[in-house]
Amino acid sequence: MTMNVNPDLSFIKFLKSAGGDTLKKCYQCATCSVVCPLSSDKKPFPRKEMVWAQWGLKDKLIGDPDILLCHQCGDCTAYCPRGAKPGDVLGAIRAYIYTYYGFPQGLAKLASNGKNLPLLIGIPAAVILIMWLISGGMHLPTEEVFTKYGFSQFFGHWDFRWLSKNVFFIDIIFLPAAALALFSAYKGASAMWQKMNEGLNSDSNFRPSCNQFVLDYLWPAIKETVLHKRFNECGVNIDRVKGHLPLLLAFIGLFIVTTYGFIRKDLLGVFIPALHGVIPQYDPFKLLANVSAIALIIGIGILWANRANMEEKKGIVPTFYDWFLIGEIMAVGVTGLGAELLRLADFMTVAYVVYYAHLVSVLMLFLYMPYTKFAHLVYRTVAMAFEKYRESGFVNKGA
């Protein structure tokens, strides 16, 4: 098949600005493919991705599952004799992929550029501030209320028992944000799946059923992720496991705690009013919450240190793409744990401000998830599921 070549110069420019500044240095020696565990005989990875990137062939790259399967172990970058840093170029391509599949495009583009940072923080900050104003809860509660209910009357209180005022406001802020994020992630992931499937050149009409997709492809991928199997194969960057694993587990822990909080307060609490208010410290779920919060801060702290170290010692270029996510998560962790500690220490005023900041940072995490580096949580998982699909007997290879 003959390809009509038309390199996209703006794509090359984007990659160079997003951490792939070295991509043009590659001279196709294939050292990277020799060290990369993802590379196979017929598909020299990431060598072919490097030449595609050099030639600005973005269409080939956005449907390439291998790019997302790469965990940036850093071996290719370490061994590259030309300093082309393939690992970092792949990171830049991933950044491009998240923006490319992002919906709506305006938001995706906004979230991909460091210049927009004031807006990226300003919008959620303003939304929550306005909601806070509207709710009429924007005043300090009495000592008694604060001690009993903590932040759960942040947005005020009404007597409608089926839905508390606080939950109402939290819901109208976070549910649409989460819905948008989920929808965008779904849309992006399915567009990517389709693109990847085109790339298989398979003549089979097979499409996995939903059940099959989840059981055979998605679930094993998630299991693998949780166990950090691939991360553990990393050579040069193995230290990242020490940060990423606690971080991932912390997110799972916090997800469980949030779900527990929702069931306890918003479902059971309707019937048993005593369940409202602060969860006591002896509650095992509270314990899990605290441990997770600490794990989150430690995990992201380690990743922070790793990256700073890499930039200092290996000349990796700092990018907005990497640091935005690190900053975001750190903000969530520090403001969350900080608000709790301040509450326990009874610094009410400061605690309220920090809690506000916590809400802002969590909203940011939700809102920008599908477009920033956080999107790897969706796209990489989908790519890993796709890999299982690709290797399944249903796909006609060799076509």
Partner 1 sequence: MDKKYGAFICTGCGIGDTLDIGALSGVVSGEMKMSCKTHEFLCGAEGRALIEKDINEEGVNSVVIGACSPRVMQDEFNFGGDKISVRANLREQVVWAKAEDAKADFVLELASDNMRMACAQIKKTELPEPYQLETVNKKILVVGGGVAGLTAAVEAAQTGYDVTIVEKSDALGGFAKQWRKQLPSRAPWTDLETPVVGSLLKSVEASDKITVKTGTEVARIAGAPGAFEVTFKPAGTSGEWDAPAKVGVDEQDKIDKGLMEDPNKEFRKYTDKNSDAEGFGSVILATGWNPADVSEYAHLGYGQFKNVVTNVEFEQLAAKGKIARPSDGKPVESVAFVQSPGGAEHDKDFPYCNSVTSLVALKQARYVREDNANAKAYILYQHMRTPGNMELFYKAAQNDDGVFLTKANVMQVTEESDGSLSVAVENTLLNENMNINVDMVVLAAGMVPTTKDAPIINLAYRQGPAFLDLDIFDGHADSHFICFPYETRRTGIYACGGVRKSMTVEETMDDATGAALKAIQCLESVDRGVAVHPRSGDKSYPEFFFQRCTQCKRCTEECPFGALDDDEKGTPLPNPTRCRRCGTCMGACPERIIGFKNYNVDMIGSMVKAIEVPDDDEEKLRILALVCENDAYPALDMAGMRRLGLNNLVRVIPVRCLGSVNMVWIKDAMSAGMDGAILLGCKYGDDYQCHFVKGSEIANKRMDNIGETLKSLGLETARVATRQIAISDYDKVPEIINEFVESIVAMGPNPFKGF
Which residues of the shown chain bind partner 1 in the complex (CB under 8 A)?
Answer: 1-7, 9, 12-13, 16, 24-25, 27-28, 48, 51-52, 54-57
Nearer residue to partner 1 within complex by CB, 28 or 197: 28
Q: Which is nearer to partner 1, 4 or 205 (CB)?
A: 4
Side chain identity, residue 372: T
Nearer to partner 1, 23 or 375 (CB): 23
Tokens of 90: 């792949």
Please tell me what DSSP assigns to residue 395.
Answer: S
- Min. distance of Cβ 84 from partner 1 in angstroms? 10
Q: Which is nearer to partner 1, 92 or 384 (CB)?
A: 92
| CB-based contact 224:230 (threshold 8 Å) | yes
Nearest distance from C-beta of residue 85 to partner 1, angstroms: 13
> Other CB atoms closer than 10 Å to residue 28's CB: what's the count?
15
CB of 1 to partner 1, least distance (A): 7
Least CB distance to partner 1 at residue 81 (A): 12
Q: Least distance from C-beta 201 to partner 1, angstroms? A: 13
**9-17 and 47-54 helices cross at what angle (nearest 10)?**
120
Minimum distance between the CB of residue 3 and partner 1, rounded to whole angstroms?
A: 5
Task: Tell me the DSSP string of 245-295.
Answer: HHHHHHHHHHHHHHHHHIIIIIIIHHH-GGGSSPPPTTSHHHHHHHHHHHH
CA distance linking residue 65 with residue 384, whole number of Å: 8
Backbone angles phi, psi at 71, to 5 degrees: -100, 15
Q: Select 8 or 143, whichever has its Cβ closest to partner 1.
A: 8
**161 vs 397 by CB, closer to partner 1:** 397
The smaller minimum CB distance to partner 1, of residues 9 and 274, is found at 9
For 322-352, b where at least 16 C-beta lie within 10 A, e where not — what string? bbbbbbbbbbbbbbbbbbbebbeeeebeebb
Nearer CB in complex with partner 1: 3/274: 3
Q: How far is the CB of 307 from partner 1 (least distance, A)?
A: 25
- In a 13 Å sphere around the CA of 124, the CA atoms on its Cβ side amount to 24
Q: Using the 8-state DSSP alphabet, how is residue 314 labeled?
A: S
Tell me the two tokens of residue 22. Answer: 């070295």
Handedness of CA 371, 175, 124, 298 (dihedral sign): negative
End-to-end CA distance of the chain: give it in Å, rounded: 13
Q: Minimum distance between the CB of residue 16 and partner 1, rounded to whole angstroms?
A: 7
Q: Give the residue with the Cβ less far from partner 1, 7 or 318.
A: 7
Q: Which of 367, 363, 370 is nearest to 335 (CA)?
A: 363
Query: How near is the Cβ of 28 to partner 1 at its closest, in Å?
Result: 5
